[in-house]
Structure 1
Amino acid sequence: MTDVASEVGRLRPQQFHATAGLGDWRVLGEGACAYFRTGSFAAGARLVQAISELPDIEAGNPDVDLRHDGVTVRLITITGEYYGLTERNVEQARRISALARTLDIPADPSAVQTVQVTVDALAGPDVVRFWRALLGYADRANSPEDLIDPHGRGAPFYFQRMQTPRTDRNRVHVDVWVPYDQAEARIAAAVAEGGRVVTDAHAPSHWVLADPEGNEACVGAAGWIGPEPTDHEVP
């Protein structure tokens, strides 16, 4: 079987956002996402039907979530060696946006996000095996530190290697991936509700926040505009 990612150029999040015609889409922790405000289940079903009829759409491994007021679409290329975005996803995103415009359905890029659970672990492989069995999850392609829901419904789990035991901070936290142009507003809202910024040393890639009792969470922004940090890679 031919590896799709070897045929079609791989893209980093920043490259995706710098490409013309993708204003409806935002790269998050799990691919490129768009939300279309349909206003009704019937209008959403028409959009989903039109998407299903696009040529070669299944090659983009699309996840389509139909609700009573809108449709969320996620595009990502998944092979045995690669989990990320490609030029093929760019073309698919453009075609889906064109369909939505034809049906007079507006996009709302601010309405997308993905959530990931991160576990800090000393004995990584042992911990991963436990969570894989408990959740019924599977390994992410080419990444032994990640588990994903094979049905595409649950939040992914990421296992972060610790070098020494830690008792002064929580070892499980939530990563919230938001559109790059919504990150600062989301952080400000969390701080206004009693949170605090623990560190912005990795901004604009991600920020570490804590709630009023010290429980930590990260806000991630994939596809930031500007110089790219060298760490905290995303698909």
Structure 2
Amino acid sequence: MSDEITARQFHDSDGVEDWRVLLGTAQTRFRTGSFTAGVELVDAIGELAEGMNHHPDVDLRYATVTVRTSSHDVGGLSKRDLTLARRISLAAKELDLPAETDGLIEVEVAIDALDRPAVRPFWKAVLGYVDGPEEDEGLGLGDAAGYGPPVWFQQMDAPRPQRNRIHLDVTVPHDQVEARVTAAIAAGGHLVSDRRAPAFWVLADVEGNEACLCTWRGRD
């Protein structure tokens, strides 16, 4: 039986207040204040991960440690991620390292195309990317090292010369998205559509270049 859980089930659980779900991964960032403290936390995370045989992505910087966990076998979150997140939060608390979710972000590049299979090879070659997940008819691309943003191709029904055909999908924590929308509008942008909110808001800059601010909500 699969132990897959939804983003809502993750957030409704106790002990994961430090974490936010972005694009099917549970993420958090711990403020360490020094590289030494960061290494100590990474060591603790490593022991927990080995003990569970469930390994998150860990990004160590001078003053922060960012952690992302998901379950590849279910293509999203599982009860294993829930357990690991709780244990990592406890380990950070024991080291007196606070969590912060401000600034957590995932970016995707979306390219509108009339003939997606014809367009895709060019971008794969230019970026040096590999085939992405099988979803979306296998047309997505990803960075094999996991650093660059994924690229996906959105089907067009007809040419749209009046709008930009490349836009960013920016996924942020669900409790921060409305502030981000407000800030984008205050910075000179405008709201194109909130019809699909809270899944995503479509925004544009003063010249009409679009971006979507996205969350996990509204996708259950």
TM-score category by the smaller chain?
A: over 0.9
Q: Which moved more, 1:189-198 or 1:60-69?
A: 60-69
Amino acid at match of 2:159: P
Q: Which moved more, 1:40-49 or 1:7-16?
A: 7-16
Aligned 8 A contact 1:8 1:88 in 2: no
- In structure 2, the residue matched to 1:86 is 78
SS of 2:91's partner is helix
SS of 1:188's partner is helix
- In structure 2, the residue matched to 1:4 is none
Deviation at 1:129, TM superposition (A): 2.1
Identity %: 48
- In structure 2, the residue matched to 1:3 is none
For residues 138-217 of structure 1, the aligned pairs below 5 Å read: 138-143=130-135, 144-217=138-211
Uncovered stretches (5+) of structure 1, i.e. residues with no partner: 1-6, 231-235
How many Å separate the matches in 2 of 1:196 and 1:178?
Answer: 18
Uncovered stretches (5+) of structure 2, i.e. residues with no partner: none
TM, length-normalised to structure 1: 0.87
- 1:137 aligned to 129, 133, 136, which one? 129
- In structure 2, the residue matched to 1:233 is none
SS of 1:167's partner is coil
Deviation at 1:99, TM superposition (A): 0.7
Aligned 8 A contact 1:65 1:72 in 2: yes
- 1:41 aligned to 35, 41, 49, which one? 35
Greater than 6 Å deviation, 4+ residue runs: none
Distance 1:132 1:181, change over 3 A: same
How many Å separate the matches in 2 of 1:101 and 1:156?
Answer: 33
- In structure 2, the residue matched to 1:63 is 57
- 1:99 aligned to 73, 81, 91, which one? 91
Distance 1:196 1:57, change over 3 A: farther
How many Å separate the matches in 1 of 2:113 and 2:54?
Answer: 33
SS of 2:99's partner is coil
CA RMSD of aligned residues (A): 1.7
- In structure 2, the residue matched to 1:11 is 5
- In structure 2, the residue matched to 1:23 is 17
TM, length-normalised to structure 2: 0.92
- In structure 2, the residue matched to 1:218 is 212
Aligned 8 A contact 1:113 1:178 in 2: yes
How many Å separate the matches in 2 of 1:136 and 1:58?
Answer: 33
Deviation at 1:139, TM superposition (A): 2.2
- In structure 2, the residue matched to 1:75 is 69
Question: How many residue pairs get matched?
Answer: 218
How many Å separate the matches in 2 of 1:154 and 1:124?
Answer: 21
Query: CA offsets, 1:136-195, max 9 Å, x none?
Result: 222223221321111111111121111211111111001111100000001111111100
Deviation at 1:119, TM superposition (A): 0.8
Distance 1:85 1:229, change over 3 A: closer
